[in-house]
Structure 1
Amino acid sequence: MKRYINLIGLLALASTLILGVLGLFSHVHLIFDLASHFRVHYAITACVASIIFLFYRAHWLALLSIVSLAFNLAFVVPWYFGSKETASKEDIKIFLSNVLTNNSDHGRLVSLIQNVSPDIIVVMEINNSWVNALNVLENEYSYSKLAPREDNFGIGVYSKLPIIMGSVKYFGSSGVPSIVLSLEAAKGTLTLVATHPVPPIGDDYFKSRNKQLSHVAKEAEKISGPFILAGDLNTTMWSSHYSQLEKNGKLRNVRRGFGINATWPSGLGILGIPIDHVLISDEIRVVDVRVGASVGSDHLPLIIELSIIGSVSAGT
């Protein structure tokens, strides 16, 4: 029995070390990129392995497990530390949700939105059926820009803030729509980009996702003033392609200081991975970030409260 348990522990240790290191090379290949997304899971596995080895007095293997645990936690723990802003009257609340095209439980989403009462709603995977279901929000959300589709890449934005200018753009080569809006906020013009790259299933989609993220970064970099990027980006914060998006777009993730807030798959809860994101420019501060209740989709929604401290006008 001891032999088999030690073997399980050894396999667990090897997987956390090998996959954890491969994740550092996510820029090289799709497989390495996929390995980068599971830092929390590697840390949990390494922790279990260290307990097994300590129990059976395999001290060197226990030490290696603790090293692997520390290595992977180094990517996770920093997300739980950072400054948090206090609420103000100028706060903007954003509701972000990949609703799942074939999810017919429209009422759960509508009910949650009405309960949360966000200022801006960003929804992905909407089709005409979803648009019809969300028409009940028209009285409260007078402004919208929609690009519904039947192929899981429809996208839409509903807003209480007036839309000064809005357009549907196609970043990269995938042919999926993104929405670019100039919104009238209390302290000036706010630019919002909502986007949903294809998932990295196969090499072509992997390259397409990366190209779209790169083009979105260029869009963000050329905008002056408060800027928000929101969407299911089909990547986690631990991919080098995500890091390039932050760096080149001069953006930061609202999760900093608020934890991982996993959103997919919804059934795994806190053991999921964070692939739905809101990124912001320096003129914006984060008041709160939390995961919302399930709306029947394979993604959990994100609810974010922001405070705009800049008053510079932005343009698209």
Structure 2
Amino acid sequence: MPTRSTVSRFISARAQWLAWLCALGALTAPVSRMLPIDQMPMLQWLAELAAHWQWLYAAVGVMALGVLLALQRAWWQVLPALVLTTCFLWQPAILTQASARRADAPVLTLGTANLNLATSDFTPLAQWLESADAPDVLVLVEYTQLAHAALAHNPAIAARYPHRLTAPQPDPFGLAIVSRYPLNDAQVLHPRTEHDTLRLRATLTWNDRQVHLSALHPMPPLSSAFSRARDQALQDEARHLAQAGGLGLMAGDLNTTPWARGLWGAEQAQMRRAGPILPTWPNAWGWLSVLPLDHVLASPGWLRVDASTGPNLGSDHLPVVVRLMAQ
């Protein structure tokens, strides 16, 4: 019969290996961002795929370190703990939190929701849009003809969101913007290459100000070529919004996380994440999500009031909703 010390050594050895493996996994995030874009594309792509799972590395690594701390204390345990913490927290900049809000300060509520191509019941979406918690402007991703018909035939939603830019498609890349405020200069940008996807651009008239809005749903990182196309799309839209000047917003299922290269490229064009990490996928059982794939990015002229996930719409993604005020 194994002694208590034998069991302790057995558990400690495996917890030690697990802690170091999680630390190595976490390091893929900075490594993937440091690798040259035009060199070693396969290595860069594989490193990025691993980099997205910082939640998993942090959770499992902390549990392993907790076991080790309970069984034995050693100075080296600080190293994987430091790696896990640094890689998890090393993310693109976030909008400044509004320190105090005047009672009369206007607030814009913007949401983005991936409806899922397979969805046929849009009752939860309709209930949300008819509720008091519905956003002022909503970007809809994986927008199909079924979703389009569901919204078009609902008079309450049509009255509440009279301004729309829609591009339904039979594939996962249909998009729509529904808004309580006027949408001007509407553009539907069709894919230019086999790796590109549809994009929407519009100028929102809000509080006597012009807000430039981009909606997109780039390809998921199924290959290094798709990853590069996604990152290029994010940079292109970020630069477009920066060149437009004034207030800018970008929203959608961006198929990337704050630890990968894509959002860092958008940050270089002065776009900031409008909220903290909000896991939105895979929305298992309506409550468990791991990866933050759905984002709202904003120009520096905004202040963040708050940000949260929206209700379960029966999709494999949870919506993201942010409330912003102009500086």
Residues 1:308 and 2:323 aligned together: no
- How far has the Cα of 1:7 moved from its partner? 3.6
Q: 1:233 aligns with which of 254, 258, 264?
A: 254
TM-score (norm 1): 0.88
Describe the SS at the equivalent of 2:246.
coil
Structure 2 letter corresponding to 1:91: V
| Structure 2 CA distance for aligned equivalents of residues 67 and 141 of structure 1 | 48
1:264 Cα shift?
A: 1.1
Of residues 143, 152, 159, the one that matches 1:126 is 143
1:13, 1:304 → 2: CA distance? 35
Structure 1 residue 152: Cα displacement: 0.4
* Deviation for aligned residue 1:51: 1.4
Query: Displacement, 1:68?
Result: 3.3
Decide whether the 8 Å contact of 1:99 with 1:299 is kept in 2.
yes
**Contact 1:169–1:179 (CA under 8 A) maintained in structure 2:** yes
TM-score normalised by structure 2 residue count: 0.85
Confirm or deny: 8 A CA contact 1:147 1:168 kept in the other structure.
yes
Structure 2 counterpart of 1:17, one-letter code:
A
Closer, same or farther: CA 57–153 of 1 in aligned 2, 3 Å: same
Is the contact between residue 84 and residue 286 of structure 1 (CA under 8 Å) also seen in structure 2?
no
Deviation at 1:128, TM superposition (A): 0.3
> Residues 32 and 260 of structure 2 are in contact (CA less than 8 Å); yes or no, is this contact kept in structure 1?
yes
Q: Quick one: structure 1 residues 282 and 25, their matched pair in 2 at CA, closer, same or farther if it must change by over 3 Å?
A: same
Gaps of 5+ in 1: 310-316
Whether the aligned pair in 1 keeps the contact of 2:94 and 2:273 (CA below 8 Å) is no
Per-residue CA distance 1:202-243 (angstroms, 9 max, x = gap): 222112212212221221221111111111111111112211
**Structure 2 CA distance for partners of 1:210 and 1:74, relative to 1, 3 Å:** closer
1:31-67 CA-partner distances (Å, limit 9, x unpaired): 1112222223222222111111122215245333433
| CA apart distance, 1:282 | 2.1
Per-residue displacement from partner, 1:68-120 (whole Å, max 9, x unpaired)? Answer: 343334337x9799555526452111121001011122101111222223211
Q: 1:263 aligns with which of 269, 273, 280?
A: 280
Aligned pair in 2 of structure 1 residues 216, 15: CA closer, same or farther (>3 Å)? same
Alpha-carbon separation, structure 2, partners of 1:83 and 1:270:
29
User: Which residue in the other structure is 2:187 paired with?
Assistant: 167
Residue 166 of structure 2: SS of its match in structure 1? strand
> 1:101 & 1:270 partners in 2: Cα distance?
20
Deviates more, 1:45-54 or 1:267-276: 267-276
For 2:174 and 2:100, locate their aligned partners in 1 and report how far apart those are by CA, in whole Å. 33
In the other structure, the counterpart of 1:206 is: 227
Q: For residues 271-282 of structure 1, what are the structure 2 equivalents within 5 Å?
A: 272-282=290-300
* Partner SS, residue 257 of structure 2: coil
The runs of at least 4 aligned residues of structure 1 exceeding 4 Å deviation read 78-85, 268-271
Aligned residue for 1:192, secondary structure, equals strand
RMSD of aligned alpha carbons: 2.4
1:50/1:63 contact within 8 Å kept: no
Q: Aligned residue for 2:303?
A: 285
Corresponding residue for 1:313? none
Q: Residue 198 of structure 1 contacts residue 209 of structure 1 at CA under 8 Å; is this kept in 2? A: yes
